[in-house]
Structure 1
Amino acid sequence: MSSVYPVTGIKAGVTDTTVPLRLEVDTWYPGQTAEHLIQNNLFIWALRFLQERDPDHKLSFFQIAGIHGMPYQPWDEDTDAITANEGYCTHDSLLFPSWHRPYMLLYEQVLYEIMVKQVIPQLPADKQQEWKDAAATWRLPYWDWAQKKTREGQDKTLYDVPLITKQPRIGVVDLKDGVTVFYIDNPMYKFTMPDEERMGCFGINDIQDTDSKNNIMTIPFSKAQATSRWATYEPESDTVSTQWTEGTVRNSLITSTLNEHPWYGRDIDNVPLAEMVYRLYVHDYISSYTQFATTKFRTSPDYDAGSPAAYLNLEYIHNNIHNWTGGFDKYIGHMAEPAVAAYDPIFWMHHANVDRQFALWQGISLLDPTKNWFESRNEQLEDDGNWYIKTGDVDTPSTPLAPFHKDTQGNYYTSDDVRDIHKLGYAYPELQPWLDKYKDAHGNFDASLYVADVKAMIKALYSPGEIGAPTEISSIPRSLVGALGQPDFNKDVIINVTYNRFALKGIPYTIYFFLGTPFSPPSYSDPLHTHPQHVGFIYTFSNPIHRNRAAPGCGNCRRKALTDTKSRAQVPITGALIARHPATHNGNLPHGIHELPSLEVDAVAEYLQKHLHWSVRSVSFDFFVYFPSLLGLASFVQRPLALLPLF
């Protein structure tokens, strides 16, 4: 094998007992300390230089982003061993969290190398050491989309995109003197191809298929010179506007979407993102790594699916963030399409947070190692295959995570290799086991103290105000119970969904759920998630099985489509039901929404049978269903289940 690039992580800043932290991006930018201000400049300059590299350069932004999907070309690999038109896809896979970990490590490492080798040498000699010291403690920031932010001019906190992504121009220090500030195009706002080439010149194809009326549908990614967020969908590829080719960024629509999903109802404490993340950590809510890690639905007869709550998983939450950031309904953007998502610079801070959620779950499961990993054969799943995993092979902790090499000999990382983030040279603010507060009377690390504190920090960040002791994690929101006037209320209603991810030939689609009088979605001109009856949605984040009508796309995805592979997700609707109870709505229910007279099991079952309906929508496809019957309500008292197998 020719020379490979070893992904080792950043070694600078690491001591015998500590590692630098990846910080929440809005606590880091704009910098409030001298070190952070320098790191802000290092990062912006390094990212700019990375994006300017020739797309044929192995360590260019274009090539690294392309590992995630198109152009479906090998990266740092022996091309003789590669099957054409396959790719490295690990979505809807047990390896989803662990594969993305060395991917983030690669991106972080390349940026650091640019800081040290390309940015700092341009500074005056008397400033270089201070900047080297700041670079040594820099790690890739994460975007915590589940934490509400304080914004200037806003009375309330809100979910929002990072400040560093908001403006098309951004201030940086002139490297010639290390002092003067001037403005450049913001590399976090969008990625623009070097020399404004079209992405199609380097293998990024249009995504093309037929819609529900057999018309050819084209998303013209090949024509883009820059990335977009919430661009208006343009179906005709030969009349693409400059707004699309040059990249349209509507960050305000992302902010609106993050805050408008009324999973608790509009008039009650509306904390949808925090609640969904919080449920990942609820005691016994998810009982195994497999349930936590992936949307993939397992149907083998010897497998115990565990609690009905286990349909919730990290990958599903991650999918929705991609959708909300890229755009949906009449809008499109790179983040919403797996094949091109990594070209949007916000992708990397999003996935740094996905990695953090993975690490937090590992942290609270530290005392139960059988739960937080997948050594057991009962926890392992067959893979649908990619370039280096054969179709039908069982994913284990030693499965290679291609194309990421851990050394110059060409050995691949495995999940076992990336299990401990501290060994990779970074940590997160909640995960610092070296702190004195975690030592027992003899000065030794006390895992029980550590786990309890991690749980407390998760609770402080994401808790919707639930019932329970301060160190317990449960899922019944205190604000809802208070409004209801029933302090002993302990019921939780969820919709568990099994769906065919490739029902539309891999074109991503959204499943919307409503509680109210059925209506025709085409009659509602605004985005469906703003409809008063809307109680939640699921986004597939799937890859089209064809890049266009002539060229195959993701091989993993084609096989999933042929085998009718199912995925799973969950929408909690307890809050929506309580909002319809007479004790909470005060007679102000919108048109088409009906009062729920009682929260007893039979009353809720009857209400759902009458009023729960759902709709499927992609860019050019609508499918509306009134669902008149539900399954599995018997376990209502603890965590009732409405199970809707779709497609």
Structure 2
Amino acid sequence: MSSSNIAATGVPTIPAANGAVPLRREIRDLEANYSDQWNLYLLGLAAFTKVSETDLLSYYQLAGIHGEPFIPWNGVGGISDFRFGGYCTHSSILFLTWHRPYLALYEQALYAIIQGIASQFPDSVRARYVAAAKDFRLPYWDWAANVGSASAFPASISSATATIVDTDGATKVVNNPLYSYMFPSSAFSGDLDQSWSVYPGTVRYPTTQDSSATSQDDQVTQVITNENPSLRSNVSLILLSYTKFDAFSNNQWLRNGEPGQYGSLEDLHNEIHDKTGGGGHMSALEVSAFDPVFWLHHCNVDRLWAIWQALNPNSFVTAKASEGNFTTEQGAREDANSQLKPFWDASGTKFWNSTRVKETTPFGYAYPETQKWNYSTTQAYQAALRSTVTSEYGGNVLTSFFANASAAPVPTSTLAAEPAPALVSRLVERKAVAHPSTPTTGKEPIAKNAETAPAPSEENGQPKEPAAPATATVPLGVPSKFAHIVQDNSYTEWITNLRALKHGLSQTFRVLVFLGDFNPNPATWPLEANLVGRFTVLGRAPDTACAKCKADQEDELVVTGTVPLTMALLKEIVAGRLPSLKAEDVEPYLVKNLHWRVTLFNGDEKARSEVPGLSVAVVSTQVRIAEDGTPVYSEHYDLHPAITDGRPAGHGPGDDV
């Protein structure tokens, strides 16, 4: 190989004496507290998107590495059987490791542009901007953050315009480069699939399926907000209870009989693609990297992996047979030494592999949580991380619920807490016709109920009881009237396990999990008050150009995911509709109130019995609350087939786990 090959090095960085390197910051933090870097970011991204598409380091070409236009990048060809099949590593043991140098390559290209822009400012402020530019790193969007009354989808991403200070010193309102990427008018003919080439720029929740489409980013906000408790629980679940990389990293069904290994970071990643895309570019992996939010999303995925790595330093890539892609033979051994093509290391003579991308600091960055140089011992560092995860994502579901109860949505078995009428109207209008609901059994009522329950913060109109003092059995923050939920500082965590044939429907689809009644019109489901969470499957059609997708179709690849139920069950306990989290109470409650439905890429309903390989199960495990408030999960999980047996796609006794 030639040393002229473009190397994916990240930002060249010399760590400080204590090992410190610049941080990738959360986008809201960057905007609020690092105004010069924020300004440079917007200016740099705008300039980046205008670099000629013929340049290998253009926004267009780097985004294209992720899928369409399915052409070799930087001269990295493939094997003859997979002509122009892409470098896809989704649903693979290499999913996380491949994306780390990919992000680093993007970051270094953007960084170089920002350095040039900083030097163009007037003499009076140039030194300030040059200093800010030096420490700039790609921001991330923490889509599971508890932002309170703030928007779950930052306005800095969803607004069509942005205010910047230009290099001439003037304040200007410009098109927001985070809102949409406009495809170059001179783009290569036939680069994008016909269904995507109609759009002049990237869109989210498009109003139409043609060139007149505009984005509806308010729907991103509503959908993410509605499912935030489940998403937060899922993040803490995999960060604090998963200890094996093959389970944590990707969504392949492990077929190991372990019900406690259905979740993964890739499953959460898929969910965010689905929620932010809404039928737009983020919804389809092959074109998702063109949307500017893709890079913020994947930066957060990398961050969560970095946190998990610090907590599980001895768990990493294990050898598996490859499903095959543009550069790897189907059935070939895939392990920590597998080449992460098309990403050359600093020498330009060999490709990165998973072993050599294990740390972030060689790429010149860390995250706020992974500043290990601030701790004298690994034990102290890991303790701080567990505490941070618990604080940020409510790792201890029980005390987290009561701490946030005053701000929690109204628990209801009705549709009284419906989403904004105008927003629902737009959701309904996107569907050409009304779709009848899937026939239900006696176990699954979907009719409205006229009853409305009190909010979790109140008991029959009275303020919520103050937290009881910490005792041996009642953790701090749990009201005394709910002390029965905790036994010996332990409680039962309830989770829905889901799996399906990834490409079984030849398109993206999602399984929506409800606790309580819901409107029969699927157009309203994403904003239903009783929607707990979703399992998103990013399937593809048989004619896809993605080589790995084709191989996965041949192998009948099955993927898995989880939707935690505990937070939703606690609302029912507070509302007086569920006595406790014990199995004898929860099982009959879920038989009556747990429902799941399937919708396709366009939002149409699909009968559950017609989804190949779909299986929905309920499992539980014991969680002990440690003295510092962090959760300690049992390694044993119990299956509860009585809840789902006999229902469409429901797990039954003796079914595979």
Residue 201 (str. 1) matches residue 140 (str. 2): no
Change (3 A) 1:478 1:601: farther
> Do the aligned residues in 2 keep the contact of 1:290 with 1:380 (CA within 8 Å)?
no
SS at structure 2 position matched to 1:352: helix
> Do the aligned residues in 2 keep the contact of 1:465 with 1:477 (CA within 8 Å)?
no
Bigger shift: residues 164-173 or 87-96? 164-173
**Letter of the structure 1 residue corresponding to residue 365 of structure 2:** Y
Partner of 2:196: 221
SS at structure 1 position matched to 2:102: helix
CA displacement at 1:352 relative to structure 2? 0.6
Q: Could you tell me how far apart the structure 1 residues matched to 2:368 and 2:215 are?
A: 31
Partner of 2:558: 566
CA displacement at 1:25 relative to structure 2? 1.0
Partner of 1:213: none
Q: Could you tell me how far apart the structure 2 residues matched to 1:64 and 1:115 are?
A: 17
Q: Could you tell me how far apart the structure 2 residues matched to 1:122 and 1:598 are?
A: 64
Residue 460 (str. 1) matches residue 460 (str. 2): no
SS at structure 2 position matched to 1:538: strand
> Do the aligned residues in 1 keep the contact of 2:247 with 2:254 (CA within 8 Å)?
no
SS at structure 1 position matched to 2:246: helix
Partner of 2:280: 333
Structure 1: state its 5+ residue gaps.
Answer: 150-155, 207-219, 235-239, 262-269, 440-445, 470-475, 547-551, 587-594
The 5 A counterparts of 1:502-517 are: 502-505=503-506, 507-516=507-516
**Letter of the structure 2 residue corresponding to residue 271 of structure 1:** P
Partner of 2:222: 256
> Do the aligned residues in 2 keep the contact of 1:466 with 1:478 (CA within 8 Å)?
no
The 5 A counterparts of 1:156-555 are: 156-158=148-150, 160-176=152-168, 179-195=169-185, 201=189, 203-206=191-194, 220-234=195-209, 240-242=210-212, 244=213, 248-261=214-227, 271-282=229-240, 285-299=241-255, 304=256, 306=258, 308-327=259-278, 332-366=279-313, 369=314, 372-374=315-317, 379-435=318-374, 438-439=375-376, 446-463=377-394, 466=397, 484-488=482-486, 490-505=491-506, 507-516=507-516, 523-524=520-521, 526-546=523-543, 552-555=544-547
Partner of 2:114: 115
CA displacement at 1:556 relative to structure 2? 0.6
Residue 100 (str. 1) matches residue 99 (str. 2): yes
CA displacement at 1:604 relative to structure 2? 3.3
When normalised by structure 2's length, the TM-score is 0.77
Q: Could you tell me how far apart the structure 2 residues matched to 1:163 and 1:585 are?
A: 34
CA displacement at 1:139 relative to structure 2? 0.6
CA displacement at 1:241 relative to structure 2? 4.5
Partner of 1:590: none
Change (3 A) 1:201 1:297: same
Q: Could you tell me how far apart the structure 2 residues matched to 1:349 and 1:201 are?
A: 29
Change (3 A) 1:569 1:479: farther
SS at structure 2 position matched to 1:183: strand
Change (3 A) 1:633 1:129: closer
SS at structure 2 position matched to 1:259: helix
> Do the aligned residues in 1 keep the contact of 2:495 with 2:618 (CA within 8 Å)?
no
Q: Percent identity?
A: 28
Change (3 A) 1:482 1:53: farther
CA displacement at 1:163 relative to structure 2? 3.5
CA displacement at 1:468 relative to structure 2? 8.6
Change (3 A) 1:611 1:114: same
Q: Could you tell me how far apart the structure 2 residues matched to 1:576 and 1:482 are?
A: 20
Partner of 2:413: none
Q: 2:21 aligns with which of 19, 22, 34?
A: 19
Deviation string, structure 1 residues 486-512 (Cα, Å, up to 9, x no partner): 24251122111121110112x100111
Q: Could you tell me how far apart the structure 2 residues matched to 1:535 and 1:126 are?
A: 53
**Letter of the structure 1 residue corresponding to residue 607 of structure 2:** F
> Do the aligned residues in 2 keep the contact of 1:13 with 1:20 (CA within 8 Å)?
no
> Do the aligned residues in 2 keep the contact of 1:86 with 1:387 (CA within 8 Å)?
yes
Partner of 2:590: 608
Q: Could you tell me how far apart the structure 2 residues matched to 1:482 and 1:56 are?
A: 66
Q: Could you tell me how far apart the structure 1 residues matched to 2:253 and 2:351 are?
A: 27
CA displacement at 1:289 relative to structure 2? 0.7
CA displacement at 1:629 relative to structure 2? 11
Partner of 1:134: 132
**Letter of the structure 1 residue corresponding to residue 532 of structure 2:** V
SS at structure 2 position matched to 1:498: strand
Deviation string, structure 1 residues 126-149 (Cα, Å, up to 9, x no partner): 644433322111111111111123
Change (3 A) 1:80 1:608: closer
CA displacement at 1:100 relative to structure 2? 0.7
Q: Could you tell me how far apart the structure 1 residues matched to 2:149 and 2:639 are?
A: 32
For these two proteins, the number of residue pairs brought into alignment is 550
**Letter of the structure 1 residue corresponding to residue 514 of structure 2:** F
Q: Could you tell me how far apart the structure 2 residues matched to 1:64 and 1:422 are?
A: 22
CA displacement at 1:62 relative to structure 2? 0.8
Q: Could you tell me how far apart the structure 1 residues matched to 2:281 and 2:475 are?
A: 35
Change (3 A) 1:646 1:478: farther
Partner of 1:556: 548
CA displacement at 1:233 relative to structure 2? 5.0
Q: Could you tell me how far apart the structure 2 residues matched to 1:633 and 1:274 are?
A: 18
CA displacement at 1:317 relative to structure 2? 0.8
Q: Could you tell me how far apart the structure 2 residues matched to 1:423 and 1:12 are?
A: 8
When normalised by structure 1's length, the TM-score is 0.78
Structure 2: state its 5+ residue gaps.
Answer: 401-473, 624-633, 652-657
Partner of 1:6: 7
> Do the aligned residues in 2 keep the contact of 1:385 with 1:391 (CA within 8 Å)?
yes
Partner of 1:622: 605
Bigger shift: residues 523-532 or 100-109? 523-532
Q: Could you tell me how far apart the structure 1 residues matched to 2:615 and 2:557 are?
A: 24
SS at structure 2 position matched to 1:18: coil
CA displacement at 1:350 relative to structure 2? 0.8
Change (3 A) 1:141 1:13: farther
Deviation string, structure 1 residues 539-594 (Cα, Å, up to 9, x no partner): 11234442xxxxx421111111122111111111223334444xx225xxxxxxxx
Bigger shift: residues 415-424 or 619-628? 619-628
Partner of 2:432: none
Partner of 2:430: none
Change (3 A) 1:43 1:629: closer
Q: Could you tell me how far apart the structure 1 residues matched to 2:621 and 2:167 are?
A: 64
Q: Could you tell me how far apart the structure 2 residues matched to 1:380 and 1:424 are?
A: 25
> Do the aligned residues in 2 keep the contact of 1:465 with 1:478 (CA within 8 Å)?
no
Change (3 A) 1:126 1:497: same
